[in-house]
């Protein structure tokens, strides 16, 4: 067994151990901390699968932004843990559930082991049109060109989630803001970090979006980094989240899918079908769409994390 193989097995065991901890931990806070670590370890597994784009997304969104959301939720729900604990099912039910889960996991493991190698693939089809698109990263090509309809609808899902979260606001807070209030003189390590990181983070995010056309990266990953920068500034209480009635905020939320849809509809006129790019214009249009999608993702993720507005709008 080579060193790499030993490391792979160690990584897999570590991922499973942290996942088991997340499920079994007695306190919800410990469980959430386990989940954040789990997300980071999982992104290493994605690197081992040669899926760097997925690893970036998993680290930024699956672990980072979800972690902020869950940690702030678990702190607010602390008093609900003890009453819920008495509803835990009995031993018999738990053993039955364990048996069921073992059957499901074993069946999936059998599928993995019996999978044909090499398996079915769309990689040659994805590769054959990269030249026309002028895009070097096949995943960006799939997301913004071949399966662009999925990606556009996914942006709509993000907006629906924001509408769902906002609709949970009490009536008196509608139009107002959520999240921690700004304080005049924030201090401490978090405030220092929130002043130090954003300039670097913004440059890294723009770089990741820009190189996403040819290298691992793209609108999702870059947008998530921008969102993280906005969140750290809000958490350090250097700035407040905008009131949800602000027109610029709402425009930022819908800019990505709106531009995507507009270019998609324009496809009817020039190449002749929905979401088709005119020949020679694919790359600039893809970059144009990605820029607005990055803006929308950077606006949407923090709004989802800080939750519904909880104070009335200022007059």
Partner 1 sequence: MSAATLAGLTGAALVGFGLYGLLTDPHPLRKILAFNILGSGVFLLFGIIARKGAAAGFAADPVPQAMVITGIVVAFSATALAVALLLRLFQETGRATLNPDAPAKTPGADG
Q: Which is nearer to partner 1, 39 or 201 (CB)?
A: 39
Whether the CB-CB separation of 146 and 126 falls below 8 Å is answered with: yes
Whose Cβ is closer to partner 1: residue 111's or residue 189's? 111
Choose between 198 and 308: whose C-beta lies nearer to partner 1: 308
Record the tokens describing residue 131, joined without a space: 């030249």
CB of 247 to partner 1, least distance (A): 23
d(CA 15, CA 13): 5
Cβ-based nearer residue to partner 1, 101 or 265: 101
Task: Tell me how far apart the alpha carbons of residues 34 and 45 are, in angstroms, rounded to a whole number.
Answer: 16
Distance of closest approach, residue 315 Cβ to partner 1, in angstroms: 25
Kindly state the smallest distance separating residue 121's Cβ from partner 1, in Å. Answer: 3
Q: CB of 271: closest distance to partner 1 in angstroms? A: 22
- The residues that bridge with 311 in the sheet, in sequence order, are 177
User: Can you tell me the distance from the alpha carbon of 137 to that of 51, in angstroms, rounded to the nearest whole number?
Assistant: 12
Q: At what angle do helices 28-48 and 66-76 cross, to 10 degrees?
A: 170
CA atoms within 13 A on the CB side of 153: 4
H or E stretch covering 280: none
For partner 1, the closer of residues 145 and 236 by Cβ is: 145
Question: Helices (DSSP H) in the chain: which residue ranges?
Answer: 3-24, 28-48, 52-57, 66-76, 81-85, 91-114, 123-128, 130-133, 138-141, 148-166, 188-211, 219-235, 247-269, 282-306
CB 97 within 8 A of CB 23: no
Rounded least distance, CB 1 to partner 1, Å: 10
To the nearest whole angstrom, how small is the minimum distance from the Cβ of residue 269 to partner 1?
Answer: 27
282-to-39, 137, 273, 278 alpha-carbon distances in Å: 34, 14, 14, 6
Of 137, 126, 147, which is closest to residue 222 (Cα–Cα)?
Answer: 137
- Min dist. Cβ of residue 127 to partner 1 (A): 4
Smallest separation, CB 11 to partner 1 (Å): 9
- Minimum CB distance to partner 1 smaller for 28 or for 238: 28
Rank residues 61 and 287 by Cβ distance to partner 1 and give the closer one: 61
User: Which two structure tokens, joined as six digits, stand for 243?
Assistant: 């009131």
DSSP 3-state of 137:
coil
Q: Which is nearer to partner 1, 41 or 191 (CB)?
A: 41
The nearest distance, CB 208 to partner 1, in angstroms, is 13
Cβ-based nearer residue to partner 1, 7 or 270:
7
Angle value at C-alpha 312, between 308 and 313, nearest 5 degrees: 100
H/E stretch holding 178 = none
């Amino acid at each position: 067994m080579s060193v790499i193989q030993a490391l792979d097995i160690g990584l897999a065991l570590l991922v499973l151990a942290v996942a088991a901890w997340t499920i079994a931990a007695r306190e919800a806070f410990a469980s959430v901390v386990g989940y954040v670590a789990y997300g980071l370890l999982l992104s290493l597994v994605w690197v081992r699968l040669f899926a760097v784009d997925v690893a970036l997304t998993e680290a930024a969104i699956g672990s980072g932004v979800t972690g902020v959301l869950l940690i702030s939720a678990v702190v607010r729900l602390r008093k609900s843990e003890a009453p819920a604990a008495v509803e835990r099912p009995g031993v018999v039910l738990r053993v039955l559930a364990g048996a069921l889960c073992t059957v499901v996991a074993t069946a999936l493991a059998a599928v993995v082991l019996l999978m044909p190698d090499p398996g079915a693939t769309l990689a040659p089809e994805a590769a054959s049109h990269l030249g026309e698109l002028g895009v070097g990263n096949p995943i960006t090509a799939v997301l913004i060109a071949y399966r662009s309809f999925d990606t556009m609808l996914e942006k709509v899902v993000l907006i629906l989630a924001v509408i769902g979260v906002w609709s949970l606001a009490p009536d008196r807070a509608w139009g107002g803001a959520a999240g921690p209030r700004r304080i005049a003189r924030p201090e401490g390590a978090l405030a220092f970090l929130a002043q130090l990181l954003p300039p670097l983070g913004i440059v890294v995010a723009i770089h990741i979006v820009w190189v996403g056309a040819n290298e691992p990266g793209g609108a999702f990953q870059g947008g998530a980094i921008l969102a993280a920068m906005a969140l750290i500034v809000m958490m350090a209480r250097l700035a407040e989240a905008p009131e949800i009635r602000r027109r610029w905020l709402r425009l930022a939320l819908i800019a990505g899918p709106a531009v995507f849809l507009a270019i998609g509809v324009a496809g009817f006129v020039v190449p002749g079908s929905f979401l088709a790019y005119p020949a020679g214009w694919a790359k600039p249009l893809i970059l144009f769409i990605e820029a607005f999608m990055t803006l929308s993702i950077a606006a949407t993720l923090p709004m989802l994390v800080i939750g519904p507005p909880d104070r009335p709008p200022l007059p």
